[in-house]
Amino acid sequence: MHKKKILIVDDEPDILKLTSLRLRKLGYDVLTAVNGQEGLESIRVEKPDLVLLDLILPIMSGADVCRKTKNDEKLEHIPIILFTASCDTITAEKAKILGAEDYMVKPFNPKELMNKVERILTEGVVL
């Protein structure tokens, strides 16, 4: 069985570093991108098993990356967990409209994130 590949798209170095470290410890292959354009290109090229995607990103917003991914028949099956700062208002409904499988509010509980990652990769849709 191949290692599950997870792409983290976030412009905050600490989030990238800590989340990558935790996911690698759990045995995942982790890729990172620091802006929306780079994230979308990485999704298209790498076809990860899961994407952790910040909503507020330079160059292209996470919402646009999510929409473009979910509107592409070759990529629409890739699950996405949206990250958002607590000052942004996101609800399960809004995440669903964008096509995401789930969302987390930053700062998030790392254990809760790991549980969501495991659940999506084993069971599929969460919302």
Cα–Cα distance, 70 to 3 (Å, whole number): 23
- Domain assignments of the chain as residue spans, ordered by start: 5-123
Domain 5-123 has CATH 3.40.50.2300: yes
HSE value, Cβ hemisphere, 13 Å, CA-based, for 107: 2
Predicted TM-score of the model (pTM):
0.92
pLDDT tens series, the chain, 127 aa: 568 999 999 999 999 999 999 999 999 999 999 999 999 999 999 999 999 999 999 999 999 999 999 999 999 999 999 988 765 566 677 888 889 999 888 888 889 999 999 999 988 755 5
Instruction: Supply the DSSP string of 28-64, one letter for each residue.
Output: -EEEEESSHHHHHHHHHHH--SEEEEESS-SSS-HHH
